Homo-oligomer: A and B are copies of this chain.
């Protein structure tokens, strides 16, 4: 952490940190977001019966495209090449939830946590957009990074509490 904090500028001003000396390595990140709605709305999503149409394919494309635009949306993120992006959905009708999971892979100089988070959260927002006519009180929760591999800080996963952060 000491090393990372060396990026702080004397006046505390925001800046895009220097990554030109970092190693180009294979890196992945998995992140999630959870849409919380009602059981019957999950059924409408699965049946393709929503006002704006079949929701999951639209949310998937939105998530993939958002991952690629992360450097444009998050002010201090670096533009990096992205080698693989997947966005998957797991619905639980009883609980009234859809869990979005995004996986991003790169060969680059920075991690891809922000890209995975952007993909998951944008896919979830897109689902909200498509269900809000039937459930405007739906919410999105538990947006977080699940796992990270590659890079100097080492691999870790939320499921493995002993790993280094």
Are A19's CB and B73's CB within 8 A?
no
Give chain A interface residues in 1-28, CB to chain B under 8 Å: 1, 4-9, 12-20, 26
What residue in chain B is nearest A47 (Cβ atoms)?
Answer: B12
- Size class of the A contact interface (CB-based, 8 Å): 35 or more
Are B83's CB and A64's CB within 8 A?
no
Q: Does A30 contact B (CB under 8 A)?
A: no
Are A68's CB and B72's CB within 8 A?
yes
Are A156's CB and B136's CB within 8 A?
yes
**This protein's copies in its complex:** 6
Contact of A144 among B6, B58, B138 (CB under 8 A): B138
Chain B nearest CB: distance from A83 CB in Å? 3
Residues of B within 8 A of A17 (CB): 51-52, 84
Give chain A interface residues in 120-154, CB to chain B under 8 Å: 121-122, 124-126, 128-130, 132-145, 148, 153
Are B75's CB and A66's CB within 8 A?
no
How many Å lie between the Cα of A23 and that of B141 in the bound state? 33
Residues of chain A touching chain B, judged by Cβ–Cβ distance below 8 Å, are 1, 4-9, 12-20, 26, 48-55, 57-58, 60-62, 64-66, 68-69, 71-88, 105-107, 109, 113-114, 117-118, 121-122, 124-126, 128-130, 132-145, 148, 153, 156, 158, 165
